Amino acid sequence: PSATGVPHLLTDNDLSPKQLSDIIQSACLFKHQAKVLGQSSGAPLAGKTMALMFSKRSTRTRVATETAVAYLGGHAMFLGSQDIQLGVNESLLDTSKVVSSMVDGIMARVGAHSEIETLAKYSTVPIINALSDLYHPTQILADLMTLHELYTPQGQDPHTTAPTSTLKNLRLAWVGDGNNILHSLMLQLPKVGMHITMATPKGYEPNAEILKQAQKNAEAHGTDLEVYHDPKDALRNADIIVTDTWISMGQEEEKKQRLTSFAGYQLTTDLIEKSGAHADWKFLHCLPRKQEEVTDDVFYSPRSHVFQEAENRKWTILACINQLLVKKGF
Ligand code: CP
Ligand code: NVA
């Protein structure tokens, strides 16, 4: 919760291990109820509005949020950077006070993480981080839900199985940029008992402060956190392999330099298997994806679960909105 007592989801550390597990399980239950049983939600958000304040493009997060709010019987109002004064022509403080006085929740996609902190400081309604330059917490919830589904033993239902029992001791390897997705992974994985290994080029390591925080989380939960530069070191014994674009939104001007710096970091089946990944390795990617970071033979292989992961953005965001706007807190 913020200083004003309003609950927000701004970074991965806003969720305790129990809250994290509960969200995953709740997301699995929503998926089961909506998709398998075809049940409606009872419209707990009837008459309520969630504002989507997005200063960057989005496919998955936007569609996931708008359809989740619709399922809960509420109204989703998309406010893009071309539509409203989002730190342009008006301060974030003023925008936050005005928008939050009229809506019941805000999903915000921003540039600098400090922008969402400012929004949250002055908002009278819950804010969910829909991506900032430092974190993408709802993405990792979908990743963990997907892994929970994949590792739930046959004959058991993910919505009645504890995520800690399926995810504990799995080893996830990241090869690529030390970016917002890696930061969120580093912070969340220890909370479900997962290990993380990473390889980034020199100069593209994760943020030092967030790494320190992630090391604390790993120590607290007795999980491994290993930092390398050579992709082979990170891939050894990996159960799950993950990457993301080398050029995040806002870094377009660095494209040429980045393509040079990331040479040798492209994930291929050959690199993964020669590095000694687990025989049953699986692949995830938050999307949008470019070919330079992962070849088609990995991305479109049966080991890749990227489209299930993308769909699960909806169920996990639905669970977060339900928690914050219907149940009034995690
Ligand atoms: N993974 C993700 O956040 O995708 P979008 O940018 O399309 O929302
Ligand atoms: N790292 C990417 C993630 C997109 C979902 C970006 O920030 O653009």
In-domain check, residue 60:
yes
Pair (182, 301) in one structural domain? yes
Pair (113, 202) in one structural domain? no
Instruction: Decide if 239 contacts 172 (C-beta within 8 A).
Output: yes
Alpha helices in the chain (DSSP H): 17-31, 60-71, 92-100, 113-122, 137-151, 163-167, 180-188, 208-221, 231-235, 255-261, 269-274, 296-299, 306-321
Pair (176, 247) in one structural domain? yes
Pair (39, 120) in one structural domain? yes
In-domain check, residue 262:
yes
- CATH (domain of 49): 3.40.50.1370
Pair (62, 119) in one structural domain? yes
In-domain check, residue 2:
no
The pLDDT tens digits for 225-276 are 999 999 999 999 999 999 999 999 999 999 999 999 999 999 999 999 999 9
Pair (236, 194) in one structural domain? yes
Instruction: Decide if 60 contacts 289 (C-beta within 8 A).
Output: no
Atom 2 of ligand 2 has which residue's CA nearest to it? 248
In-domain check, residue 320:
yes
In-domain check, residue 7:
no
Pair (281, 202) in one structural domain? yes
ipTM value for the complex? 0.99
pLDDT at residue 138 in the model: 98
- Amino acid at position 69, single letter: V
Residues 35-64 have a mean pLDDT of: 97
Pair (130, 218) in one structural domain? no
- 3-class SS of residue 240: strand
Pair (155, 50) in one structural domain? no
Pair (216, 123) in one structural domain? no
Q: Mean pLDDT over all residues of the chain?
A: 96
Rounded to whole angstroms, the Cα distance separating 139 from 57 reads 15
pLDDT at residue 2 in the model: 61
286 catalytic residue (yes or no): yes
Please state the atom number of ligand 1 nearest to the C-alpha of residue 59. Answer: 7
Instruction: Inform me whether the pLDDT recorded for 4 exceeds 80.
Output: no
Range of the domain at 223: 139-310
* Sign of the torsion angle spanned by Cα atoms 197, 201, 202, 205: negative
Residue of 84, 142, 210, 286 marked active site = 286
Q: In sequence order, which residues have a C-beta less than 8 Å from that of residue 241 and are 6 or more positions away?
A: 172, 173, 175, 235, 267, 272, 277, 281, 282, 283, 284, 298
Verify cis geometry, omega within 30 degrees of 0, for the bond prior to 201.
Answer: no
Task: Report which secondary-structure segment, H or E, holds 175.
Answer: strand 171-175
Pair (167, 257) in one structural domain? yes
Pair (85, 144) in one structural domain? no
In-domain check, residue 5:
no
Smallest-distance ligand from the CA of 285: 1
Please state the atom number of ligand 2 nearest to the C-alpha of residue 180. Answer: 1
Instruction: Inform me whether the pLDDT recorded for 1 exceeds 60.
Output: no
Total tally of structural domains belonging to the chain? 2
Q: In sequence order, which residues have a C-beta less than 8 Å from that of residue 223 and are 6 or more positions away?
A: 189, 190, 193, 194, 195, 196
CA–centroid distance, residue 58 to ligand 1 (Å): 5
